[in-house]
A and B are shown apart, each in its own frame.
Chain A
Amino acid sequence: MASAKKTILGLDLNTWVFLLPALLFFAGYQLFPIVRVVWISFTDFKYLTNDPPNWVGFANYIEAVNDPLMWKSLGRAAYFTVLFLPGTIIFPLLLAVLVDRVRNAKVATVYRVILLIPAVIPSTLVFVLWKWMYNYQIGPINYFLVEIMEWFTYRNAPQWLGGTDLTLPSVAIMEIWWGLGYHSIFFLAGLAAIPKDLPEAARVDGANEWQVFWYVIRPRLQPIMMILVVLRFGTAMAVIDEYLIFGGFNRAHPTYTWTVFMYDQAFKTGLWRQGFAASIGMVGAVVMMIFVAYLVYIFRSKD
């Protein structure tokens, strides 16, 4: 006769023992920081003072949503995301389809390795490289435009970085280049999972290569696209390192996004108003979550 096992929330004790490490990790490493930031956002916590923080209710949130810089800086991040996200899908997908068609295994491996090179370069080197590439006076891009092609002079050549309209597109190009191989690998993995007889059958039925791609391959890559879009949407909206390096703290620059605004308030300005900075972060996070939900809806499986 089997003895009745004691359960907690429908799970027996043995199960809880195995779950506990993961739960502790989740609570300590993910849940606690979020809860703490939420709590800070309701206080007047200033990091440079040793005064205990006071509960201020929604005052920080009211201040944040009424600050034009909050929405302007969110808009800048959204603009960058719009520039960047298509590049995480279109070019890597195209590249993956081309590499997938290489039949020589050794050559295909060489292509994959080459594709991954930018992804393994440390971020510092990537930033140094592109900052030099985009340099107004001594960068190779302007050298090409001014010295080789003579389309511009050094008085009217494009200013790629800093406070100009070209800044966010320039940063987006860098990011697309940086992630090209990494994103292509996602699609290559997706392509490898598609049975080879599916496109072959379509070809036998008279479909041309475009139709094979559009009606057979693309729908089966939809889950990969959703993962990429959702993941990269989050990282694109929350970019900060690149903006700090390429634009600094000039509030008029396109690189002064909500993340920089938050960092500026938390670690640079005045007594480091981290309560207010936390509310900026929470407002930004809520806006992002709304868009993520919409993206998940768009890319939902229609099978």
Chain B
Amino acid sequence: MRKEQEIVFQNENREQLLEGKIDRREFMSKTLTAGLGLAGVGVAANFGSNSAQAGSHGRPLTPTFYQWIEDLHPSIPKVNSKFPGVNYQIAPVEGFGIERFVAEAKKRESTWDVYVGQTPFVEMTAMIEADVIEPWDNYIPKDVLDDMIPSIRDECTINGKLYGWPFLLDVVGSSYHSGITSKAGLPDDSPSTWGEYLARSQQVVDSGAAQFGATFDARGWRSLAPFTHSLSSDCYTSEGLFDFTGDAAIEALMLMKNIMRDSNPDILLAGTSDGGMNGTPDEVAFAAQRVGYYTKYQNAPLRMAQYWDNPDQLRLGPLPKFAGGEGSTVFWTTGAALFKHGKNKEKAAEYVKALTYDMQIWKDSLAGTSTGQPGQLPPYKSIYSNWASNKPGWLPDFVGLVRGQLDQAKCIDNHLFGLQQFIIGQSVWETYLKGEEKNPRVAMQNVVDAVHAEMKRG
């Protein structure tokens, strides 16, 4: 053990010397210290690999989090307290912006060691292309890797390497306000087919139980893609793009238009925060108890229901199916990326492991706290099996439901245009939703043309 520590320490010193972080004199003195035996290593370790306070690279472990993660998960500071001296920071990202990370990587440096906030299909490919991140494979313990739910592990893997360490799981499903639906004379269960969903939505409006029947988030990865998956998840081209002109996507687009008949009229407008991505009109309508049915990842209705007179009236369910459809949906995880030019990589792995296995975080996420109930789920098999064998009293029923959907769900394929294809395409397919283009196939072909035109530019 002692020898291993010496070797690790000497390697780190060598790396620092090669990077110009320390001079030869400092390298020699550090190496000498490492060579002094256990006592020397102990002295060095006080500044090094066993302490977050003063990392072996001359700085403490420095994770950076996307702001909303801290907002939704107030127990994160408790994990930090297990890593004395950790330099916890909020990431300079807004609306999926990774400019600062890329700029630093170009100079072969990084202010931070690990970024918690990466959603694979959104930004992982771009961060790999820009040489910002490196795989976790050399640092993640094998038992953790084996513990990941396979579909989640696939989501975070590119070319056989794990570039994302999953943390928070979201699955797109349906939900409804049981106070509104019961007032409309509807049964207290989730509609199982889209036909039933539309009929109930209309019933909500016709009965006057609420102003709007149903709503969705207009961003393609939050509506078009999951609706398409509910018919068929085989909806990606060989190059990894979403198959906008496939039958399933066309059906999904037509479904969106049908839902819009009884939805809030501002459904296609941008959101109010985070570059229009959050605080979206669907969330406002659901929070204001103006709509009966809702499709979005589970944490949205859970958060919005906190504003209701009686949050217990929220019901969650799986995404409805098309007749004869596959019954799949979309999931994604938000996790951690390891900065290639960061430091303290082993410590970062220890930290993310502690973070993702922290039971207080999961209890707070699922049972809720005074600040909210995000309802985001863990990515590990062992946690679910422990809950199955010994169900905690605080564990809400929706956990089993959402976890169950994951078995059918599929992630959006990783691609440089994984997110952008939906952003570019939205204005084009909306011509059909707004009635400017009558034929959904023409609208979707225009989407493909627009995406390919951008891809051609590079």
Contact = CB atoms under 8 A, between A and B. Distances in A.
Interface in B187-219: 211
A156 B265 CA distance: 8
B420 A268 contact: yes
A48 interface: yes
Size category, A interface: 35 or more
Interface centre among B131, B265, B277 (most CB of A within 10 A): B265
Contact of B284 (A48, A49, A138): A138
B458 A271 contact: yes
B285 A137 contact: yes
A253 B275 CA distance: 14
B270 A137 contact: no
Interface in B95-128: 95-97, 99, 102, 106, 126
A273 interface: yes
B321 interface: no
B154 to A, nearest CB: 24
A213 interface: no
A164 to B, nearest CB: 8
Interface stretch (B69-77, B344-352, B422-430): B422-430
Given A244-B275, A271-B129, A136 B270 contact: no
A136 B265 contact: yes
Interface in A271-291: 271-273, 276
Contact of A154 (B95, B211, B277, B420): B211
The A interface is mostly helix, strand or loop, or mixed, namely loop
B281 A137 contact: yes
Nearest to A255: B270
B7 interface: no
Given A269-B420, A273-B458, 4 more contacts: A135-B284, A164-B269, A248-B271, A273-B457
19 contacts: A48-B102, A50-B130, A135-B284, A136-B281, A137-B266, A137-B281, A137-B290, A163-B268, A163-B269, A163-B427, A244-B275, A244-B276, A246-B276, A248-B275, A269-B454, A270-B417, A270-B420, A271-B416, A272-B102
Interface of B: 95-97, 99, 102, 106, 126, 129-131, 211, 264-266, 268-272, 275-277, 281, 284-285, 288, 290, 416-417, 420, 423-424, 426-428, 430-431, 454-455, 457-458
Interface of A: 44, 46-50, 63, 131-132, 135-138, 154-157, 159, 161-164, 244-253, 256, 267-273, 276
